[in-house]
Chains A and B, each alone.
Chain A
Amino acid sequence: MSDDDLYIYVTDREGHKQKVDALSGWRIMEIIRDNELPIKAECGGCCSCATCHVYVAPQWLDKIPPPGEEEVEMLDEAFEVEDNSRLSCQILMHSDLKGLEVTLAPGTE
């Protein structure tokens, strides 16, 4: 499969769901930011700020490697953390995640 076919769905803080093009090997945070959706991601993707917090649609959770200790600790600085909370800078896009659905969490504005 070529990269051209990859995409994800992002729901913003207002509830608008958008389909955006994705590239294999990119971080989900970068894909969201590159598509000019509002995501603060102020540390730039090094798991140091928790401002790229997203909720991953439950059906996708088992397709993504679980969060590392560093990500779990960083989620302590996020708000309204749920079982499907992830830092989108810690999820790498690849072909199995084609169609992944994420929702931007509070604190990413």
Chain B
Amino acid sequence: MTETIKTDAIIIGAGPVGLFAVFELGLLDIKCHLVDILDKPGGQCAELYPEKPIYDIPALPVVTGQELTDQLLEQIKPFNPAFTFNEMVESVEKTEDGGWRIKTDAETVIEGKVIVIAAGGGSFTPKKPPIKGIEEFEGTSVFYAVRKMDQFRDKNILVAGGGDSALDWTLNLHPLAKSMQLVHRRDEFRAAPDSVNKMRSLVANDEMQLHTAQPIALHGINGQLQAVTLKSKERGEYDVECDTLLAFFGLTMKLGPVANFGLNLHENLIPVDTEKFETSTPGIFAIGDINYYPGKLKLILSGFHESALMAQQAFRYIYPDKKLRFQYTTSSSSLQEKLGVN
């Protein structure tokens, strides 16, 4: 059993809104620990559109998703937030002293006095091909990620996809696999050219097969895959034998375990008030794209505003005996000291 991490505010989601919450909470002397399923901060901005320009951040006429993330990280540096990446918060429970305890899918336990859900569109999870009956094979012969390579030793593998994940795993697993096939919808790949060249030379040497097609049906018994039907323009529908399918079609967002936290939900969003951005459960807040209130706009700037108001109420829970003073960073020497600029 790993040691319990203690903090003031547990922030679920390290996207732009979760990051800015660290700033607003930090000004009020509230320490933060962020948990994110991705391997890096920035949420959608870093995962979906790091290179895409955003035009509606106040005072930044244009900024890319990655630049915004980097700037926010710079801005919250003085508050030294802790991060747990690659993990998903699975459960939330109240502690004996009125705070909260969360547990992740990797058994990390964090205790805090408040929880701030800034989970955006939910957890990033692999896209699953909409093939009938695919669930029956998941975990036994259909996979969306490789955790232990050795699991795939001596398998007859079919990899589906045309990006870096698909190509990297094709190349990495090829030496272990009994046979390797790759299926992609067109004969062009957006993966790194070097990987594509390596794959093509394996194909040229008959060491693996490449199919320009799309998987449309799975065949097997008791969760054990035996063949996959592919559909191509040239060959129509045909079956290829394999016992393992690795599908890499990018990520999508799903609400995930947040749905089981015992909070009221409204069409997969978390209703909050517009004074404190608190959920139906006192001490649990929701800010950014994941919350809902009349007039809600899913804008990053709305999430920033929500962070500031949320922090006021979080302060009342964390420092019940202290008086909350509203101060400006331009004039307050104590705030400037926290920011390390004075």
Write the residues of chain A forming the contact surface with B, with a CB cutoff of 8 angstroms. Answer: 40, 42-44, 46, 48-51, 72-73, 75-81, 106-107
Contact = CB atoms under 8 A, between A and B. Distances in A.
Contacts of A50: 250
B184 A76 contact: yes
Given A42-B121, A49-B250, A107-B130, A80 B48 contact: no
A77 B250 contact: yes
A80 B190 contact: no
B129 A42 contact: no
A27 B111 CA distance: 45
Contact of B52 (A46, A77, A81, A107): A46
A76 B162 contact: yes
A49 B48 contact: yes
A73 B250 CA distance: 12
A33 to B, nearest CB: 11
B163 interface: yes
B216 A80 contact: yes
Contacts of B121: 42
A81 B185 contact: yes
Nearest to A40: B252
Contacts of B48: 42-43, 46, 48-49
B49 A76 contact: no
A72 B44 CA distance: 21
26 contacts: A42-B44, A42-B48, A43-B44, A43-B49, A46-B48, A46-B49, A49-B48, A49-B252, A50-B250, A51-B252, A72-B186, A73-B190, A76-B161, A76-B162, A76-B184, A76-B186, A76-B190, A77-B163, A77-B249, A77-B250, A78-B249, A79-B214, A80-B216, A81-B185, A106-B130, A107-B127
Contacts of A49: 48, 250, 252
Interface of B: 44, 48-49, 52, 121, 127, 129-130, 161-163, 184-186, 190, 214, 216, 249-250, 252-253, 298
Q: Which secondary structure dominates where chain B touches chain A?
A: loop
A48 B52 contact: yes
Give the 5 A-B residue pairs with the shortest CB-CB distance, closest first. Answer: A77-B250, A106-B130, A73-B190, A48-B49, A76-B162
Contacts of B127: 77, 79, 107
B214 A81 contact: yes
A89 to B, nearest CB: 12
Contacts of B184: 76
Given A48-B52, A73-B190, A80-B214, 9 more contacts: A42-B252, A42-B253, A51-B252, A75-B185, A76-B163, A77-B163, A78-B249, A79-B130, A80-B216
A77 B214 CA distance: 11
Contacts of A77: 127, 163, 249-250
A72 B185 CA distance: 11
Contacts of B185: 75-76, 81
A107 B186 CA distance: 19
